[in-house]
Structure 1
Amino acid sequence: MATAGMFVNMPVGTPYSFKNESDRPAKMLISVAPAGLEQMFFEVGVPLAQGATTAAPPTKDEIEKMVSVAPRYGIEIKLPGH
């Protein structure tokens, strides 16, 4: 478990997940090398409404889209219970 201020480095192919287990908003900075994965987020991301500071939980359709698009970027998404 990573806590505030920690840095985590994971080798390619390492399964991971993240969850904010607090009752406060959290921020996370993710750096990916080599570049290119950001294109997946441009493809499946949903812009926030102007002035919004938090995102709504993803819809079932948004999750299904991410799961179907991810393999084109070398990502395998494993949903809980699957």
Structure 2
Amino acid sequence: MLILHMRSIEHRATVNSAKERISIATFHRPGMNRNLAPIPSLVTPERPAFFERIGVKDYYNGFFSRELQGKSYIDIIRLQNEISK
């Protein structure tokens, strides 16, 4: 399977010019022994990863055990590098 980084004129969204917009790919029932991670071929020094590799089980444990106030879980697991700030 080949996954490319590309801009699409068909993908439209209403955005807030003051905040970044992220898209999250989701998968239906990934195996609990699998990992979620950025695709290595898309991570470069110019485009560093925003998230570390995390096990599906660890992701679900963190997601379902957090309090419902404050930041979303995706913000909690985001890496704090210069580009993602």
TM-score (norm 1): 0.36
Q: Which has the higher helix share?
A: 1
Bigger share in strand: 2
